[in-house]
């Protein structure tokens, strides 16, 4: 038990350090309205799905960190700026960029070289297709269940956050009357340093804007970070405990492999794939290259492995991430929907392969 607690603490500290940094940075940029400048890249998707404009900003953030983007959504939802339906669909949309990012960092770099161009390429296409289906689901459900009038501008979504330029202009405007009144009393009054060096005054105001934005970000993100860290620790502990007790490893895929008539030598790669896809792929690659298994059978093995790996992956990764941010009810719903889509894509491909063979 002590070992599980230490592993849980280590995993939590490692993950939450990155989360805290990303939460602070994204909150800081939101306070400065920085995402408004680049969120137009995702606005066509947001517009079609009837999501508010702020969802475009979280989508841009999800390219770097889906967890940080979802934390932004949770904060906006708590503040009443997003409804539960909008938050739910935004969270699903934020899971899409990871499929395209992994195409370059995982599929091209590892899967295709190990499995070969055909098997690895099909495997990569299946992964990309899963992301596209999730995106299509958001577009369809958004148009069906969200009103078209839900579009809001970023300024409306974050009404209490002035931009750096507007803050500077308002500060200057408020100081203008006092300057005029002083000049009207005596033209001989020396000009102040701020008037004689406007660039220095602007720099001073900019530093104050950044400092205020940092403090607002720290204050706004601290509460949600503590909530995320607490739930993440609990869910990680439960998953590690089940893993140690053998609950997650109790599945025997041998009978299933025999049912689908895959070669006996693929049972070990198939079983290992469930626990570690990268290790399973590494073992399967030489079998394909040596002609020990056909490309079609290799794809069947990969689809079978995915069918059992995905629920375990959802328990180990998605469940702690989503529930720590959105709570148990919404978090579980997101996990179920995401896992269901991924599993159904694999089942569809598996059925097509069985028909072909």
Per-residue pLDDT tens over the stretch 47-62? 888 998 888 888 888 8
- CA 210 to CA 200: how far, in whole Å? 15
Tell me if 209 is assigned to some domain.
no
End-to-end CA distance of the chain: 48
The answer to whether residue 251 scores a pLDDT higher than 60 is no
* Number of C-beta neighbours around residue 222 at 10 A: 14
Tell me if 78 is assigned to some domain.
no
The answer to whether residue 287 scores a pLDDT higher than 60 is yes
Stretch 72-91: mean pLDDT: 89
- The listed range with the strongest mean pLDDT (94-103, 165-174, 195-204, 252-261) is 94-103
Using pLDDT thresholds of 50, 70 and 90, give the confidence band for residue 275: confident
* Number of C-beta neighbours around residue 217 at 10 A: 21
DSSP state of 1: -
Stretch 88-116: mean pLDDT: 88
Q: What is the pLDDT of residue 291?
A: 79
Q: What is the pLDDT of residue 261?
A: 67
- To the nearest 10°, report the CA torsion of 344, 349, 353, 354: 10
What pTM was computed for the model?
0.65
Identify the CA nearest to 69 among candidates 289, 268, 244, 322. Answer: 322
Q: Which helix (H) or strand (E) holds 147?
A: none
pLDDT, tens digit, 9 for 90 and up, residues 57-78: 888 888 777 888 888 898 888 8
The boundaries of the domain holding residue 302 are 248-357
Tell me if 143 is assigned to some domain.
no
Q: What is the pLDDT of residue 299?
A: 92
Handedness of CA 212, 214, 217, 218 (dihedral sign): negative
- CA 5 to CA 135: how far, in whole Å? 38
* Number of C-beta neighbours around residue 239 at 10 A: 21
Q: What is the pLDDT of residue 191?
A: 43
Tell me if 316 is assigned to some domain.
yes
Tell me if 270 is assigned to some domain.
yes
Render 21-69 in DSSP notation, one character per residue.
Answer: HHHHHHHHHHHTTGGGGTGGGTHHHHHHTT--THHHHHHHHHTT-HHHH
Render 207-219 in DSSP notation, one character per residue.
Answer: HHHHHHHHHHHHH
Identify the CA nearest to 302 among candidates 247, 236, 253, 356. Answer: 253
- The listed range with the strongest mean pLDDT (166-180, 191-205, 235-249, 338-352) is 338-352
Check if the beta carbon of residue 113 is closer than 8 Å to that of residue 74: no
Q: What total of structural domains would you count in the chain? A: 1
Question: 3-class SS at 197?
Answer: coil
Tell me if 231 is assigned to some domain.
no
Tell me if 344 is assigned to some domain.
yes
- The listed range with the strongest mean pLDDT (185-194, 265-274, 318-327, 344-353) is 344-353
Tell me if 308 is assigned to some domain.
yes
Stretch 205-215: mean pLDDT: 73
Length of the chain (residues) = 357
């Amino acid at each position: 038990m002590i070992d599980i607690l230490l592993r849980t603490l280590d995993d939590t500290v490692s993950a939450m350090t990155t989360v805290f940094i990303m939460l602070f940075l994204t909150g800081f940029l939101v306070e400065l309205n920085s995402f408004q400048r680049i969120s137009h890249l995702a606005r066509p998707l947001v517009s079609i799905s009837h999501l508010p404009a702020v969802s475009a900003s979280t989508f841009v953030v999800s390219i770097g960190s889906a967890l940080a983007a979802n934390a932004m959504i949770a904060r906006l939802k708590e503040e009443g700026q997003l409804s539960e339906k909008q938050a739910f669909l935004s969270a699903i949309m934020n899971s899409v960029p990871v499929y395209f990012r992994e195409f370059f960092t995982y599929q091209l770099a590892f899967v295709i070289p190990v499995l070969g161009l055909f098997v690895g390429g099909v495997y990569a296409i299946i992964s990309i297709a899963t992301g596209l289906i999730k995106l299509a689901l958001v577009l369809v459900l958004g148009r069906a269940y969200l009103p078209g009038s839900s579009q809001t501008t970023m300024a409306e979504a974050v009404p209490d956050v002035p931009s750096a330029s507007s803050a500077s202009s308002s500060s200057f405007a408020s100081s203008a009357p006092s300057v005029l009144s002083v000049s009207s009393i005596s033209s001989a009054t020396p000009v102040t340093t701020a008037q004689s060096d406007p660039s220095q005054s602007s720099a001073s105001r900019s530093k104050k804007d950044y400092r205020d934005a940092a403090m607002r970000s720290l204050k706004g993100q601290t509460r949600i970070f503590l909530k995320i860290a607490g739930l993440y620790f609990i869910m990680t502990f439960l998953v590690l405990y089940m893993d140690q007790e053998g609950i997650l490893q109790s599945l025997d895929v041998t009978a299933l492999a025999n049912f689908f008539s895959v070669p006996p030598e693929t049972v070990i790669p198939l079983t290992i794939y469930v626990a570690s896809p990268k290790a399973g792929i590494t073992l399967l690659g030489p079998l394909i290259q040596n002609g020990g298994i056909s490309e079609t059978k290799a794809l069947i093995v990969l689809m079978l492995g995915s069918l059992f790996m995905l629920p375990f992956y959802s328990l180990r990764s998605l469940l702690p991430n989503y529930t720590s941010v959105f709570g148990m009810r919404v978090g579980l719903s997101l996990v179920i929907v995401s896992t269901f889509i991924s599993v159904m894509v694999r089942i569809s491909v598996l059925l097509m392969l069985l028909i072909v063979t």
